[in-house]
Amino acid sequence: MSPAAPPVPALHEPQAAHGPQALHERQVMQATAGRKSLRLRLVLLGALCTAGWTASLLVGHFVDCGPELHRIGLAVHILALVLSFGTILVVDWLGLLWLLGKVQMHESGKLEAASKPLIWGGLALLLVSGALIDPDLTNPVTAIKLACVLVLMLNGLSIAPAMHQLLALPAHTRFGELGRRLRLRLMVALSVSQACWWTAVLIGLVNSTLRRWAGV
């Protein structure tokens, strides 16, 4: 009797991949899917922020809220500014300490993650209260301030992929050990954030002072 022939695997049943190469391929596929999901989420959030910003401008320009709501809106606007801008200053300060090698990288990342509700909640209140304080859209300086607010929100969203990449590194990683592209991305985001915040704050203070002098 001739020996039985070895079983032949069916053509429609692919062999399971094994080994380090297959594991690496799965990890690459998962990372790619994660990046695509993150980009889609950021695009949707960016569209939502832009829509909220536009709605705030339209309401503030076309709707007369009256003096009572104006005073309430101004008070909320100041409180929201203190909340969001104050939190940003603390986060950026800790980031500066990491650049100087005073703290570990993940300490700054953890604070940034914990402070997101305060920052974004403050920005949302700025948009809502800004619609109540009758912004003068014909004033170029006020237009610059409003543009800074939109840039701030979009900049905060755009830095998310870099922060995910940063927090995936060992906690003892120093700024100088990062890749050149990641270092540049972090520095640009920090510079844009500080420039827009200080510009918006200073313009707001000047406009408020001028209105008070004019008795508005």
- What is the model's pTM? 0.78
Instruction: Say which range, 25-39, 147-161, 181-195, has the weakest mean pLDDT.
Output: 25-39
More confident residue, 123 or 164: 123
What pLDDT score does 57 carry?
92
* Span 75-87, pLDDT tens digits: 999 999 999 999 9
Question: Hey, what are 189's tokens?
Answer: 């985001």
What pLDDT score does 66 carry?
84
What pLDDT score does 33 carry?
64
Rounded Cα distance between 199 and 215, Å, is: 24
Check pLDDT > 70 for residue 183: yes
What pLDDT score does 19 carry?
59
